[in-house]
Amino acid sequence: MTLSLLTIAYWCVFIACGLPYLAAWIAKVGSFGPRDNVQPREWAAKQSGWRARANSAQANSFEGLPLFIGAVIIAHQLGAAQARLDMLAAAYVVLRVIYIAVYIKGIGSVRSAVWAIGFLVNIAILFVAR
């Protein structure tokens, strides 16, 4: 596969797949050492505050990926208008970045609203086909 064949929506899938790892890195930076890597889940269970929220953002980001990936692939297969699909996929990625940020900051009501909008964007991607 050549990179030029990837649509913006496919690049958004690639970026969205990296976001859980970004959230995990944020949770661990400055606190997670080689000894913690022996039992990383125990380390995560001991965290509190923003580190625990960053770790939870990681888990939620993984949970949201299947729907987004599936929606983008289905939309491509059904011949969705590419510009509209690209716009919705980019919106999803931006919403997920915002979601991670507000999750880490501990702003629950905004986090839930951003999650809901992201879910609706996924549904819109499924119905964007011609």
114-to-17, 92, 98 alpha-carbon distances in Å: 18, 10, 7
Mean pLDDT calculated for residue range 41-70: 94
Kindly report, residue by residue over 93-121, the tens digit of the pLDDT. 999 999 999 999 999 999 999 999 999 99
- Domain region containing 16: 3-126
**Domains: count for the chain:** 1
DSSP assignment, residue 2?
Answer: -
Give the C-alpha separation, 112 to 56, whole Å. 13
Look up the pTM and report it.
0.92
Q: What is the CATH number of the domain that holds 101?
A: 1.20.120.550
| pLDDT for the residue 125 | 96
Distance of alpha carbon 129 from the chain centroid: 23
